[in-house]
Structure 1
Amino acid sequence: MSKKIKILLVDDHQLIIEGICSYLKDFDNLHIESTNSCDSAFSSIKSSLPTIPFDIVFTDLSFDGSTNETIDGGESLIKALQKEEIPIKIGVITGHSETNRVFNVIRNLNPLSYLLKGSINTTELTFAIERMLADKPYYSHEIHNKLLKRTLVEIQMDEVAIQILKELPKHTKIANLEGVIKKPDGNLLKIRAIESKLAKLRTDLNANNNTDLVLKAKELGILD
């Protein structure tokens, strides 16, 4: 008889936990526990180590009313588990789909899976678990596309492009950027070259105008 897979669900909304459990009701050899608290999750994972440890933890990122907890959110929970080198496979199930948030969580914390609450279903969740058990990553389709787009944008961004995007919100006229933007050799960029670069940036980021360009750059995490 194959070993039971032990999973911990961490979310402060009980309905979400119940929904996830319903998706997994037909998954064989599965033992699921849940908690609404990151402190409780960390304690449960650590206390299980000497007996029957958890194989997988799925956590949300944001937790309402967690200010009184030592571990105040999913990112903090992942960091705590990684700091103590606890052998558990980590997945994220969250509503956060902002490109910059997604990119930073995956780049800095490297969870094996990143799933979105709004689109998750039995097939995807089952597949994600199977991938995780094989130590292979799985990101939902939307998350995968966001990561791909962010990577492509980073490849296209050079020092001049970053300067222009950062200076653009500070000036009412494009002409004011002349004398501000510098080339890698230190020389100043002329207005025609700035306008040409802006046109390319609008195309690359699929922006309708310069205001939209700044919004797109912020959404992608290029600008704060």
Structure 2
Amino acid sequence: MTLSKHINILIVDDHQIIIDGIRSLLKSSATIQIVGEALNGEEALQVLNTKPVDVIILDIEMPVMNGIELTRIVKEQYIDTKVLILTMYDTPEFVKQAIEIDADGYILKNRGAEELESALQALARGEDYYGKEANKTLRSGVRKKHTTNQNKIPLTKRELEVLKEIADGKSTPEIADKLCIANSTVETHKRNLIEKTQVENASKGLMKFAIENKYI
């Protein structure tokens, strides 16, 4: 996604009071512009066909077309549009599903304007944003099952350090700062990890791999 002066936002939720609340939370932002709203996935697609949208803020449970179905379509047909799931569902199953359908972010509705804006800014920079609660929830639902092949993957000490930071939701600059290495070195370790683990996504894929295989 190419950054413009404003981050164009589409809000999708089946409760108008939630849409109004998000508008109120973001109205003072100088960089965020709300270009549309919709009460379900089908209405959202109508907006996407007529207006440029950088980030969609959407709920999971909606009538007509839910957030999961909408996200799948967006990731296939509107590749420059990022998806931020804003939901009340705080369960490992929903967080894992969000990762599997390649949602770019996941935060809970009980969070304030500061985290919402942080998530939107991260997505606009091309980063993923899974809130601390989502990471904690995902960890709590991890089972003790390991697959034989994944357990035999050899990782270096530094790769393990980088993997743990990725699983904790840290960005490349944050990892570089904590481990006292260059951003380019972090990216090299990420590429090595992707090659070794055969995941498709640097952040969400490695996060899921680390948690499911007890590397954290």
Q: TM-score range by the shorter chain?
A: 0.5 to 0.7
Structure 1 residue 158 displacement after superposition: 4.6
1:157 is matched with which residue: 142, 145, 154?
145
2:43 to 40, 54, 65: 40
Match for residue 121 of structure 1 among 112, 119, 125: 112
So what's the TM-score if we normalise by structure 1? 0.60
Moved over 3 A (4+): none
Other structure's SS at 1:78 match: helix
Partner of 1:61: 60
2:22 to 17, 20, 23: 20
What is the CA–CA distance in structure 2 between the aligned matches of 1:99 and 1:36, rounded to whole Å?
26
1:20 Cα shift?
1.1
Name the amino acid aligned to 2:44. A
Q: Report the CA distance shift for 1:25/1:85 in structure 2 as closer, same or farther (over 3 A).
A: closer
User: Deviation of residue 135 (structure 1)?
Assistant: 1.1
The C-alpha deviation readout for 1:141-189, integer Å capped at 9, x for no partner, is: 2111122334xx34x3258xxxxxxxxxxxxxxxxxxxxxxxxxxxxxx
Q: Unpaired segments of 5 or more residues in structure 2?
A: 148-216
Root mean square deviation of aligned Cα = 2.4
Deviation, 1:85, is: 4.3
Given candidates 64, 76, 86, the residue that maps to 2:79 is 86
* Residues 1:141 and 2:132 aligned together: yes
Structure 1 unaligned residues grouped into runs of 5+: 160-224
Q: Aligned partner of 1:123: which letter? A: E
Residue 126 of structure 1: how far off its partner (Å): 1.1
More RCO (CA 8 Å, sep 6+): 2
Matched residue count? 146
AA in 1 matched with 2:41: C
Q: Note closer, same or farther for the CA distance 1:158–1:90 as it changes in structure 2 (3 Å cut).
A: closer
User: Of the two, which has the highest radius of gyration?
Assistant: 1
Q: Secondary structure at the match of 1:47?
A: coil
Which of 35, 51, 75 is equivalent to 2:68? 75
Distance in 2 separating the partners of 1:82 and 1:110: 7
- 1:198 maps to none
- TM-score, normalization by structure 2: 0.62
Residue 83 of structure 1 deviates from its aligned partner by: 2.2
Cα distance in 1 between the residues matched to 2:71 and 2:130: 17
Aligned to 1:31: 33
Partners of 1:111 and 1:86 lie apart in 2 by: 12
Aligned to 1:26, what secondary structure does the other structure show?
Answer: coil
Quick one: distance in 2 between partners of 1:148 and 1:136? 21
Provide the C-alpha distance between the structure 2 equivalents of 1:105 and 1:112, rounded to a whole number of angstroms. 8
